[in-house]
Amino acid sequence: MTMLNNSVAKLKRLKKAPLKKFGTIGLAIPLAITSTLLITGCDEDSDSSTEVVPTPPATEPTQSVAYTYGVRPFYLVNDMDEGPLKDELMACSAQTPSKTDFSIAHRGAPLQLPEHTYDSYVASAQMGAGILECDVAFTSDGELVCRHAQNDLHTTTNILATPLADQCTVPPIVDVNGVLTNADSIECRTSDISASDFKTLKGKMDAANTQATSISEYMDATVSWRTDLYSQNGELMTLKEHIALASSLGMKHTPELKSPVVTMPFNGYSLDAYRQQLIDTYKAAGVSASDVYPQSFNIEDVEYWIKNEPAFGANAVYLMDDSNETAVNKTFDKNDSTTWLHSLADIKARGINIIAPPPWILVTTDGNGKLIPSEYAKQAKANNLDIITWSLERSGPLAGGGDWYYSDLGDAINNDGDMMNYIDVLAQNVGVQGIFSDWPATVSYYANCKGLT
């Protein structure tokens, strides 16, 4: 589907005639990868997707969404070791897909579609995700936009193939022989360009070849277990556009305030102004504070919202991992509280209600291949902290035990189907309230089967 360059005009048309612009047929396009296997239990000639009109937010229209799992959840269930959980999930194979807040779209659906793009967001909605993330950064003229980092345009967009490459903090250098000489140091920031310039770029799969000797070689670096098949459009979105789209899809919102890589204040723009602008953007859009889960790895950001915007601060999410929660001169150990920068009691005492560690911090093993809650998870629950976790479907095949997202769990992870066991322990034993995923259908299938709304 060819997207209009003028996204503001497109979203105005959405508000006037949402079903015409974004009807079920139009929304099916981003999930063409699974168009022949929408739901099991029906033959190939039957139309098994269900058209559901979500409950509309008060200030936005609603467009119809054809919910679908696609083929991947069934592949994962089929790959599980035999046992009661596999039998239970297999028995749900003919269930009707539906939206669930337990399934949180991490940057959209970037396992196969470019992150933080229109197509990726719509795909995540179709997979049943009830909450949509925008990682928030700012442009040179102070517009908030959706990018995973302020300085990732060189790996997540086509900026290096455009004249805007010259405006990058560290632009590509090509010598007189046409050889790229600084592939390992190129850096392009959202703050290097204006919002109007940002909107001219196209998103691509997040990847870069830092050994490349040409721009094309640098950009053509998608790992083998992902794909460039759905990178044709790559429409980038501002936060305002993201809010309008998520609201029209009946989704809740989880914006993450990304740490600036520029020195703040930036051209007079302070860190507090950045924190406040994020909340003000949702207020201006008429989104209820109860439908917004602002996130940050910076505990001071979360404390700012709690103090200055208590309605939004009540749902604020403190993101953490070993990078920001390791005690001084210690190595983080999820089962040893002396290695944690903050105790869970301290975090709760600050007024924080929701924490979001990665799953490996919440889960450990019994030494015999069984996944069980970690001490960190136990203490979080003991202190009445709600937990969400990030992120599944970022790791490629799991036959080798997985990557960082499965740290210290190798004796329990040896095939792709083990992902479903991971989800089950997080949901049933740890008690997480939601799971971020790069392919939300996986979590949505489990949640629908278990009745998690």
The 10s digit of each residue's pLDDT in 85-97 is 999 999 999 999 9
Are 44 and 158 in a shared domain?
no
3-state per-residue secondary structure call for 325-393: CECCCCCCCCCCHHHECCCHHHHHHCCCCEEECCHHHHEEECCCCCEEECHHHHHHHHCCCEEEEEEEC
**Residue 43 pLDDT more than 70?**
no
390 and 267 part of one domain? yes
Same domain, 205 and 332: no
Question: For residues 219, 222, 223 and 228, what is the CA-based torsion angle, rounded to 10 degrees?
Answer: -160
| φ, ψ of residue 182 in degrees (nearest 5) | -135, 40
Residues 158 and 42 in one domain: no
Domain co-membership, 152 together with 244: no
Q: Tell me the H-state helices in 214-296.
A: 215-219, 239-248, 271-284
**Same domain membership, residue 277 and residue 168:** no
| Mean pLDDT computed over 54-77 | 75
pLDDT in tens, 95-107: 999 999 999 999 9
Kindly state whether residue 229 falls inside one of the protein's structural domains: no
pLDDT for 1: 31
Res 16 pLDDT > 50: no
Does residue 123 register a pLDDT over 50? Answer: yes
Whole-model pTM: value is: 0.88
pLDDT at 10 over 80: no
Q: Is residue 362's pLDDT more than 50?
A: yes
- Same domain for 54 and 136: yes
**Listed residues 167, 191, 219: the one ending a domain:** 219
Over residues 210-247, the pLDDT tens digits come to: 999 999 999 999 999 999 999 999 999 999 999 999 99
pLDDT at 13 over 60: no
Most confident of 25-34, 45-54, 72-81: 72-81
Q: What is the mean pLDDT of the chain?
A: 89
Same domain, yes or no: 101 and 166: no
Q: How many structural domains are present in the chain?
A: 2
Residue 410 domain-assigned (yes or no)? yes
Confidence of residue 11 (pLDDT cuts 50, 70, 90): very low
Q: What is the DSSP letter of 405?
A: G
pLDDT score for 64: 87
Q: Which whole-number Å values give the CA distances from 364 to 76, 271, 370, in the listed order?
A: 21, 37, 8
Residues 324 and 266 both lie in one domain: yes
Asked if residue 226 is part of any domain, the answer here is no
230 within some domain: no
Question: In the predicted model, is pLDDT for residue 131 greater than 60?
Answer: yes
What lies within 8 Å, CB to CB, of 149 at 6+ separation is: 135, 137, 258, 261
Give the per-residue pLDDT at 5: 36
Averaged over 188-200, what is the pLDDT? 98
| Beta bridge pairs of residue 437 | 105, 392
**Tokens 């405006």 found at:** 167
| Interatomic CA distance for residues 343 and 357, integer angstroms | 14
Residue 87, domain member (yes or no): yes
Residue-wise pLDDT tens digits, 284-337: 999 999 999 999 999 999 999 999 999 999 999 999 999 999 999 999 999 999
Examine the domain organization and report whether 13 and 105 are in the same domain. yes
For residues 330 and 362, state if they share a domain. Answer: yes
pLDDT in tens, 150-174: 999 999 999 999 999 999 999 999 9
Do the domain assignments include residue 316?
yes
The DSSP 8-state label assigned to residue 95 in this structure reads P
> Residue 62: its pLDDT value, please?
67
DSSP characters over 10-79: HHHHHHH-HHHHS-HHHHHGGGGGGTT-SSTTS-TTS---EEE-PPPPTTS----EEE---SHHHHHHHT
User: Does residue 332 sit within a domain?
Assistant: yes
Cβ-based neighbour number of residue 185 at 10 Å:
10
Alpha carbons within 13 angstroms on the beta-carbon side of residue 254 total 30
Find the domain containing 156 and state its range: 148-219
**Co-location of 129 and 252 in the same domain:** yes
Domain for residue 232, yes or no? no
**Cα distances (Å, whole numbers) of residue 22 to 70, 96, 134:** 20, 22, 21
